[in-house]
Chain A
Amino acid sequence: MGKPGDKLKKVRLTTPVSAEAIAKLEIGSVVTLDGCIYTGREGVYKRILDDGTTPPVDLAALSNVNFHCSPAAAVRDDGSYRVGAVTATASFRFAKWLPRWFEVSGARVIIGKGGMSAEDYKNIFVPAGAVYLTTVGYGTGALLGRGIKHVKAAHWLDDLGIAQAMWVFEVENFGPFLVESDLQGNSLFEQANAQIATGLKALYAGTRPAILSRYGETDERSDELI
C-alpha cells in the first residue's frame, strides 16, 4: 500500500507555459518547471503600476511566470550573484495589483505562498487565463534553490534592495509546487478550509468566548464588547 500523498498527479511544465497546458492543470497536482521565471512583489508592482515606470525588460517576451519571491541572495565582489535558498512570500497582499499586472506583463502563472481567494481567481485570474501555483511547506527553500541554474538579471537591485528587486532566473526541474487554482476559478485551499470547517463546531465545544471581546470579532462597530 502506498503512503498518503503518493498518488498526487505530477506535471512538468516549460515556460512560457502554453494556454493548453494551463487549461489542463487540476488543483492538487504537483508541478515542476523548466525555463525562465522572474520575481516581482510589492516593490516591483508599485514601481511599474503605481509609479508608471517602464518595466526593465519586455516581460511578455521573457516569461509568463511571475514568482512572488525574494531569494536569499548576495552580490559577489565581482558583481555576479549567489543564490542560496528560495521561498515565496504571501500573495494575498498583492491581489489589488493583479488585474493590471496581467495586462501589462502578460503573466499567466503566478507562483507564491498561500494563494488568493476563489473570488479573486474568478474575477481576476480566470478572465486573464491565469492560474496560481503555491510553493510547498513553506518552504522548500533549498530544493527550490537547487532548481535555479542561472541568474539572468537582477533588475532595480540598487533601488529596491535584494528582497524587492526583480530577479530573472533560468530554472530546471524547479519545484515542487501545487496547483492551487484552475481555469474554473477553484481554490485548493478553500476546498480544504470548507472541509475542515465542518469539524470546527465540535472542536470548540466546551470553550467559551473571551470575557472581553475585540473589534474585529464583530463587524458592528456599535456593539458593546463585554
Chain B
Amino acid sequence: MIAIDIIQRAAEDLMAKAAIEIPDDYLAGVEDMANTERGDLSAFVLRAMLENYVAAKEDRRAMCADTGVPRWYVKIGNDARMEGGPVALESTLRRATAKATHDVPLRPNRVHPLWRTDHNNNVGINAPEIEYSFEPDANWIDVTAVHKGGLFGTDYRMLFPGDGVEGIKRFFLDTLVAFGKRGLACQPAIVGIGLGGSKDTCMTLGKQAACLRVVGNRNPDPKIAALEEELKELGNSIGMGAMGFVGSSMVVDCHIEAGYTHTGGMPMSVHCFCLSSRRAVARIHADGRVETRTDPQWFTPYMRRETVEWESPETSLKKSG
C-alpha cells in the first residue's frame, strides 16, 4: 500500500523539478542545435536559452514564467494499491498543484474560460488534467508532471487516406510555418504528431508524443520511425529558426503516435512542446521508495498493443521457449 503523503511530497517535488530543471535529453538536443545554427539571431536566441537553463537551476527559479497549463500523467501498475484509492490520488495531485504554484512560485494561469475567475493556484474546473494509463505486472505508480504552454503551436485536421504522406507533410509544414512565425510556437521544440484515433484521441496522442517521449526515442514501427526522421529534417529545412528568425532550428525531435481510426479517415494533430520542455517523473514503489527521472516511459508495449488480449513479453517468451 502506497501512503498518500508520499505521493503528495513526490508530486510537489515534481512540480518544482519540471519548472526549474531542463531535461538532459532536451538540453543535449538544444546544445546540438546551438552548435550548428548559422543564423545570427537564431543562434543568439539559443545561447540565451542555454544561459537561462543554467540560471534557473542556480537560482531554483522557474525557467519560464508561463507555467502553461500544468497537468499530470499517471501510470498505475496493475498490482499497485494506494491509500485512499483514486479519489485520494486526485485530491493529492490537486493539492500539490496548488501548493507548488505558491511555493516555487509558478504563475497561476488557470482561469474560468468565460468569467476569467482565477483561484491563483492553477486548480479549477477540469484543471489540472490528470490522464491515466496502466501497466501489467507492476506494483508501482509513475507520476509525471508536464508544464506545457497552452496558446500556440498546436493544430488538428481531418485528413483522409487519399491525402497520404504528402498530405501529412503539408499539414506538418502548415502548422510549423504558421506558428513558427515570430516564434509563437516557442521553437525549437519537440514536435508530437497524433495520427488516427477518434478526434479527441488524435489530439491526446499527439500531445503525449510531444510531452512524454524523449529526444532520440523512435517509434517501434520502422516505417513510422523513418517518417519521424523525415519530418524532423523537413521541419529543420524550412529556413526558419528560433523566434521565427532565419535559421535551421525548428524541430529538436519529432515523435509520431498512431491509433486505429475510422476506415474513411486519417486525422492528424501537431503539437509543439516548447523551448523549455518541462517534464519530470517519479516512480513510487510499493515500499515507499521514490525514484525520479526525466523519461516518462509512457508508451510501453502494453500502451501500443493491437491485439484483443495482452500477453506480457515474459509470458510470450516462455511460450516460445
Residues 193-205 of chain A: 1 if any B CB is under 8 Å from the residue's CB, otherwise 0? 1011001100110
Q: Report yes or no: A162 in contact with B120, Cβ–Cβ below 8 A.
A: yes
Contacts A8-B44, A72-B67, A137-B48 hold; do A207 and B173 have CB atoms under 8 A apart? yes
Q: Is A28 an interface residue (CB 8 A)?
A: yes
* Cross-chain contact B182 with A189 (CB below 8 angstroms): yes
Q: A87 at interface (Cβ–Cβ under 8 A)? A: yes
Report if A206-B166 is in contact (Cβ < 8 Å); known contacts: A142-B52, A161-B111. Answer: yes
Bound Cα distance from A141 to B275, whole angstroms = 11
Task: Give Cα distance in the complex from A210 to B118, angstroms.
Answer: 40
- Chain A residues with CB under 8 A of B245: 188, 192
Q: Does B244 contact A (CB under 8 A)?
A: yes
- Report the stretch among A14-22, A51-59, A78-86 that lies at the interface: A78-86
Hey, which chain B residues are within 8 Å of A206, CB to CB? 166, 169
B6 on interface, CB distance cutoff 8 Å: no
What's the Cα separation between A105 and B104 when bound, in Å?
Answer: 33
Contact bitstring B139-164, A, C-beta under 8 A = 1, else 0: 00000000000011000011110110
Q: Would B186 and A74 count as touching, CB distance under 8 A?
A: no
The answer to whether B181 touches A72 (Cβ under 8 A) is no
Given the complex, which residues of A lie within 8 Å of B111, measured CB to CB? Answer: 161, 163
With a cutoff of 8 Å between Cβ atoms, the chain B residues found around residue A74 in the complex are 101-103, 105
Task: Enumerate chain A residues within 8 angstroms of B43, measured Cβ to Cβ.
Answer: 3-5
B11 beta carbon closer than 8 Å to chain A: no
Residues of B within 8 Å of A200, CB to CB, are: 177, 238-239
CA distance A87 to B234 in the complex (A): 30
Chain B residues in 8 Å Cβ range of A122 = none
Interface contact A189-B108, CB-CB below 8 Å: no
The answer to whether A203 touches B66 (Cβ under 8 A) is no
A30, A83, A161, A196, most chain B CB atoms within 10 A: A196
Task: Flag whether A211 is at the interface (Cβ < 8 A).
Answer: yes
Contact A203 B237, beta carbon cutoff 8 Å: yes
Whether the pair A195, B238 counts as a contact (CB closer than 8 A) is: no
| Residue among A3, A192, A208 facing the most chain B CB atoms (10 A cut-off) | A192
Query: Is B134's CB within 8 Å of the partner chain A?
Result: no
The number of A-B residue pairs with CB atoms under 8 Å apart is 211
Supposing A73-B107, A137-B52, A192-B41 touch, asked if A199 and B181 sit within 8 A by C-beta, the answer is: no
> A127-138: contact bitstring with B at CB < 8 Å (1 yes, 0 no)?
000000010111
Among A3, A8, A137, A212, the most chain B Cβ lie within 10 Å of the Cβ of A137
Whether B152 and A136, one on each chain, are in contact in the complex, defined by CB atoms closer than 8 angstroms, is: no
Contact status of A85 and B246, CB under 8 A, knowing A73-B105, A212-B160: no
The yes or no answer to A184 lying at the interface (CB within 8 A) is no
Task: Tell me whether A173 is interfacial, beta carbon within 8 Å.
Answer: no
Interface check B184, CB cutoff 8 A: yes
Say whether B51 contacts A82, CB under 8 Å: no
Kindly supply a per-residue 1/0 record for chain A positions 172-202, scoring 1 wherever the CB is within 8 Å of any chain B CB and 0 otherwise.
0000101000000000110011011001100
Contact of A72 among B65, B173, B234 (CB under 8 A): B65
Which B residues from 154 to 210 make CB contacts under 8 A with A?
Answer: 157-160, 162-163, 166-167, 169-171, 173, 177, 181-184, 186
A199 touches B52 (CB 8 A): no
Report A-chain residues with C-beta under 8 Å of the C-beta of B89: none
Question: Is the CB–CB distance between B39 and A4 below 8 Å?
Answer: yes
Is A146 positioned at the interface, with any CB of B under 8 Å from its CB? Answer: yes
Contacts of A85 in B (CB 8 A): 19, 56, 61-65, 107
Residue of A nearest to B54 (CB): A142
Contact B170 A209 (CB under 8 A): yes
Name B248-275 residues within 8 Å CB distance of A. Answer: 274-275
Interface flag for A11 (CB, 8 Å): no
The answer to the question of B8 belonging to the interface, with a C-beta cut-off of 8 Å to chain A, is no
| Structural contact, B63 and A142, CB atoms closer than 8 A | yes
Q: Which of A3, A30, A89, A207 contacts B167 (CB 8 A)?
A: A207
**When the two chains form the complex, which single residue of A115, A145, A192 contacts B246, counting CB atoms closer than 8 Å?**
A192
Which residues of chain B are near A210, meaning CB under 8 Å? 157, 159, 163, 167, 170-171
- Asked if B306 lies at the interface with its beta carbon under 8 angstroms from chain A, I say no
Jot down 15 A-B pairs with beta carbons below 8 A, ordered by A: A5-B42, A8-B44, A72-B107, A85-B61, A85-B65, A87-B65, A136-B48, A139-B65, A139-B66, A141-B61, A141-B64, A161-B108, A162-B107, A162-B108, A210-B157
Given A69-B65, A84-B104, A200-B238: 17 more A-B contacts, CB < 8 Å: A4-B44, A8-B44, A72-B106, A114-B183, A138-B274, A139-B186, A140-B48, A144-B65, A145-B61, A161-B108, A161-B118, A163-B118, A192-B246, A193-B244, A207-B173, A210-B167, A214-B157
What 8 pairs between A and B have smallest CB-CB spacing? A5-B44, A74-B105, A161-B118, A207-B170, A85-B62, A142-B56, A4-B43, A142-B55
